[in-house]
Structure 1
Amino acid sequence: MTTKRPPPDPVAVLRGHRTSVTALCFHPSKPILFTGDAAGELRIWDLVRHKTISSCRVHSPAAGVIGIATSSLLANKVLSQGRDGTVKCWEFVDGALSRQPLLTIKTNSYHFCKLNLSKIAVFSTQSGKAFPAEAHQKKMDPSTMQGIDGSKKDIESAEKTFDMEGEIHKKEMDSFPGCSPEQVSEIEVKGEVLLQTAGPSQLLSAHAKHHSVADTVSSPPLSCGQGKVFMAIAGEEPSVVDIWDIDSGEQVVHLKSPDFDSHGNPTEFSTKSRGMCMALQAFFPPKSHGFLNVLVGYEDGSLAWWDLRNPRTPVTSVRFHSEPVLSLALDEECRGGVSGAADEKIVFFSLDYDKGTCLLKKEINHPHPGISDISIRIDSKIFATAGWDHRVRVYDYHKRKPLAILKYHSATVTSVSFSKDCKLIASSSEDATIALWSLYPPGV
């Protein structure tokens, strides 16, 4: 008779916070972990020595830290989100944060939806494999592409493909100024027909003539090839999603559907009727011609897929959960992902870019309700969930099967994240601890 192997213990437990640890994030290139707590403290951990490097209070104790984010495009910068209506950008130098934030964004958002930074998948036309998010933004150096199966030829091909998409977008916007929705259904470039992701009616040039400027604060980000990082966050109205340019600190788009159309008829999708925005994932899809898309989970259990070419109407909306959606994650190809909610379901879904649909692939019934956070490893082989039941659960992403239940925390697990080299999982909890786990190493 075979017996199941016991789940592994943490390789390390980080202690130092005096209250609930609410958010965590790995540095994009260094063995560093950032963690934030309910008292507004942000700690920086050395993952080699498992010790605190430095700590400082980045938000008031009354507000606390509810979100932390980094990006390879931001280099040594880290964002902290407080429940004081602000997001602050800090510089990380010599093991500590700058004395003053480089940028403070007043979002006027006071609830618990965590910010999310834009991600992108770049595909090699030779191998069909996806490169890790954000790698295309800088000149690709094979020596720095950790965990990637791709030759130098693949990398050059990916760069060329991305550059071509930028040219495609410029051409379509220049060639069809003020076009009607029926005039442009496809763009032909170099003998290949590239269908628009969400249909021609969502071209900004046509859309801007029919809708007020209030819905689009300024021109939406037209290309992800400019090295910019965009932040999606719930707005002053909890049901509205705002998009911010991190470089300029400017708000660029509101994602809001009206309750009634210009004739006084109820609209098919009303953000207000969906309740608060609870979870976000901003991304540049492979067929968006450089336009930012956002997947949003709402209080009523629904998901909405937005394309910034049409900030008034989502591409599609679905309702997979019976309770508020609390967590979302997309794989590195941005073709599918996982959602968790306050109910007992973990949902696998896929995004069909040609049809503009979000499809249910599989549901897994969770033994206990409540998934606070979900993280998919950069190689898209496994993912982990943070549960209200004090457990971290690890699943096979492609086979959609459970692999392990990690037990250490004595209270709700608030966040979970994979290191960029795929070797560590970090989990934070209301028990004021951070656990580091090592299992299912990459390449196995």
Structure 2
Amino acid sequence: MFRPAPSPVYTLRGAGGPLNTLHFSCHGGDTPLLFSGSGKGAIHVWNLNTRRAEKIVEGHSGSSVIWVSTLQETDTLISQGRDMQVCLWDLSEGRSEAMDSVWTGSVGFCQCSVLETSPGTRLLAFAGQQTEEIKIIELPSKTPVCTLVPDAKLGMVMCIKLWQPDSGQGPLLVAGYEDGSLLLWDVTQRSMLSQAKAHPEPIMCLTFDITCLRGVSGSSEDKLSSWMLDRQNNLQLQDDVTLVNPGVSQLCVRGDGKLLASAGWDHRVRLFGWKKLRPLAVLQYHTDMVLSVAFSDHQDPRQRLLAAGSKDHRISLWSIYNEGADTG
């Protein structure tokens, strides 16, 4: 049984375009922030106390912004646009020019993934110029680390996630491809560790919980595919989750590992218990496709929010099951 669906606690308007990507920064400083990237090339920095945009950055020549993030313990914003550029911004000085950029050569929609490997050093993974290649570089030096290309023809790289396993081995990367395949890569060895056919259609999005080595992916179909890594780093497909309507733009697991949110082409956000993928609620507010979802990183669990960005140019913010809820 679904619980009664709540209403948004508030909405943000004025982005001026479809909201492709959202990212919270609420754990440091006095001002909780939400970053959004729009289809018109603008990055908005929303102050969640005033519920207004305190800064607007135009950095991708009007091209759609498909990914934004912040680098830990710095005031550096990182953004990716359809102009084939990844830009780095120093927010501390209030400047509006990018302090550095990386040319990706990719015309697709694959969002970058960033991993901090040591203080001040990070790996950035992105889809490359060739159809199936993933490039990984070191920041801030921009030194190439490796290029990952599968042996088989799998089509475009659609989505990637880079992480550092607890086992002490080098970074791993999971990627979803156009033919519906998932591949697990060992970055240090530049080798493929395992492969699984998760979907019959292109994988549109994936999320991966590094604490339990479990992931879920979505496509244009009416199913979510659940999978995990065993101790030998084999991708193991688990049960599918059937959706009421087809099409998933993005997936996100809350930081406490209790909730999964999906952004639906049917204008809805769906919530599942992450442990058993049990449906919990359907959030209805938007009048067009939901393109992005993100959970806030507030230190106080009672303040945690879920944000959803839509093709209708609006961002909805929701307070969801923050205290002691049974979300299995």
Moved more, 279-288 or 293-302: 279-288
Structure 2: gaps of 5 or more residues: none
Aligned with residue 124 of structure 2, among 231, 235, 251? 231
The letter of the residue matching 1:306 is: W
The letter of the residue matching 1:292 is: P
User: 1:99 Cα shift?
Assistant: 2.4
Matched ranges for 1:11-410 at <5 A: 11-27=9-25, 29-30=27-28, 31-61=32-62, 63-73=63-73, 75-93=74-92, 96=94, 98-118=95-115, 224-257=117-150, 269-270=151-152, 273-289=153-169, 291-311=170-190, 313-333=191-211, 335-352=213-230, 354-410=231-287
**Normalised TM-score (structure 2):** 0.92
| CA displacement 1:346-403 (0-9 Å, x = unmatched) | 1221111x32211122210112221111111111111101111111111100122011
Q: Say which SS state the counterpart of residue 339 (structure 1) adopts.
A: strand
Map of 2:322 onto structure 1: 441
Q: Distance in 1 between matches of 2:175 and 2:2?
A: 38
Q: Distance in 2 between matches of 1:77 and 1:50?
A: 22
Q: Distance in 2 between matches of 1:252 and 1:5?
A: 48
Contact preservation (8 Å) 1:409, 1:429: yes
Contact preservation (8 Å) 2:251, 2:260: yes
Q: Say which SS state the counterpart of residue 237 (structure 1) adopts.
A: coil
The letter of the residue matching 1:433 is: R
| CA displacement 1:106-143 (0-9 Å, x = unmatched) | 1111211111122xxxxxxxxxxxxxxx7xxxxxxxxx
| CA displacement 1:197-241 (0-9 Å, x = unmatched) | xxxxxxxxxxxxxxxxxxxxxxxxxxx345522111100113111
Q: Distance in 2 between matches of 1:302 and 1:325?
A: 8
Q: Say which SS state the counterpart of residue 287 (structure 1) adopts.
A: coil
Aligned length: 318
User: 1:27 Cα shift?
Assistant: 1.6
RMSD: 1.7
Q: Distance in 2 between matches of 1:282 and 1:443?
A: 31
- Evaluate the alpha carbon distance shift between residue 427 and residue 406 of structure 1 in structure 2; reply closer, same or farther with a 3 A threshold: same
Moved over 6 A (4+): none
Q: Distance in 2 between matches of 1:54 and 1:364?
A: 39
The letter of the residue matching 2:48 is: L
Map of 2:8 onto structure 1: 10
Q: Distance in 2 between matches of 1:14 and 1:114?
A: 23
Q: Say which SS state the counterpart of residue 285 (structure 1) adopts.
A: coil
User: 1:12 Cα shift?
Assistant: 0.8
The letter of the residue matching 1:238 is: T
Q: Distance in 2 between matches of 1:304 and 1:404?
A: 31
| CA displacement 1:276-332 (0-9 Å, x = unmatched) | 00011001112242x111000000001000001332x41000001111111111114
Contact preservation (8 Å) 1:231, 1:243: yes
- Evaluate the alpha carbon distance shift between residue 442 and residue 280 of structure 1 in structure 2; reply closer, same or farther with a 3 A threshold: farther
Contact preservation (8 Å) 2:156, 2:178: yes
| CA displacement 1:218-272 (0-9 Å, x = unmatched) | xxxxxx3455221111001131111121221233210113xxxxxxxxxxx42xx
User: Structure 1 or 2: larger strand share?
Assistant: 2
Map of 1:416 onto structure 2: 293
Contact preservation (8 Å) 2:110, 2:158: yes
User: 1:52 Cα shift?
Assistant: 1.1
Q: Say which SS state the counterpart of residue 346 (structure 1) adopts.
A: strand
User: 1:64 Cα shift?
Assistant: 1.8
Contact preservation (8 Å) 1:28, 1:70: no
The letter of the residue matching 2:295 is: F
- Evaluate the alpha carbon distance shift between residue 225 and residue 88 of structure 1 in structure 2; reply closer, same or farther with a 3 A threshold: closer
User: 1:56 Cα shift?
Assistant: 2.4
| CA displacement 1:393-436 (0-9 Å, x = unmatched) | 11100122011111111111111011112510111011001110
Structure 1: gaps of 5 or more residues: 119-133, 135-223, 258-268
| Higher CA-based Rg | 1
Map of 1:187 onto structure 2: none
Seq. identity, % = 33
